[in-house]
Amino acid sequence: MRADHHVHSTYSSDAVSTLEQNVAVAGDRGLTTLCLADHVRADTTWVPEFVVAVKAARAGTELEVLCGVEAKILDDRGRVDVPADLPAVDRVLIADHQFPGVDGPVAPNDVRRRLNAEETTPEEVVQTLVDATVAALRRTPTPQLAHLFSILPKVGLNESDVEPDHLRLLATTARATGALVEVNEKWNCPGPAAVAAFRAEGVPVVPSTDSHDAQDVGRYRRVPALLARAGPG
């Protein structure tokens, strides 16, 4: 647990710590790897500045400091909400912030309403989410799955609704695309069955806090137990 693969800075509007503060805390806590990743959208313009700032924050530290961006899956075709001219970064964190619908992102409450009204089924919702995630992995360079399945409780489902075949498809695609999969402290996901499936395919599973405040960098309370329940790996 000497790494944190998902840390936000003040480049994200909902974070309070600077890049430099995150790096300093990570060093003080004995971490060896830190991935600084901030939220982007298609119209974000500051990524080149961010890349330069991360490089500067990396200077003078023995930490492996990686540069990443986090973006949501937009639709069931796996488009990801990143700028068209995104410069090279170490990681693109793919997130299920909203449900990837046919015509674009759908608010979780709308999906929950449709489920309650029996306008769709849990099987259809999970299948669409899995297919969109697989498509996003295939079309995104240097991918990392961020808090996989965090949207399920928001729509009234949980990981027990995800079939073993879904997990195998996600795991084989992650392996084929060179993806990493994070186990997220903030959202406590993905669960043990998913982690075991990724490990069985040799996909790197990495810890992350999803920190928005430097005081939380590298602090794990739930991730160790989740990884232990997934079995050896």
Separation of alpha carbons 36 and 63, rounded Å? 12
Query: What is the predicted pLDDT for the residue at 160?
Result: 98
Give the confidence band of 146 by pLDDT, cuts at 50, 70, 90: very high
pTM of the model: 0.97
Integer distance in angstroms from the first to the last C-alpha of the chain?
Answer: 13
Domains of the chain, by residue range, sit at 3-229
Separation of alpha carbons 56 and 38, rounded Å? 16
Mean pLDDT across 56-66:
94
Element (H or E) spanning 71, and its range?
A: strand 64-72
Mean pLDDT of the chain: 97
Residue whose pair of structure tokens reads 């992102």 in the numeric block: 105
Residue whose pair of structure tokens reads 């901030």 in the numeric block: 38
Q: Where are the beta strands (DSSP E) in the chain?
A: 3-7, 33-39, 64-72, 91-95, 99-100, 105-106, 143-146, 180-184, 205-208
Whether pLDDT at 233 is above 80: no
Query: What is the predicted pLDDT for the residue at 104?
Result: 97
Please tell me the least confidently modeled range out of 60-64, 111-115, 145-149, 175-179: 60-64
Q: What is the CATH number of domain 3-229?
A: 3.20.20.140
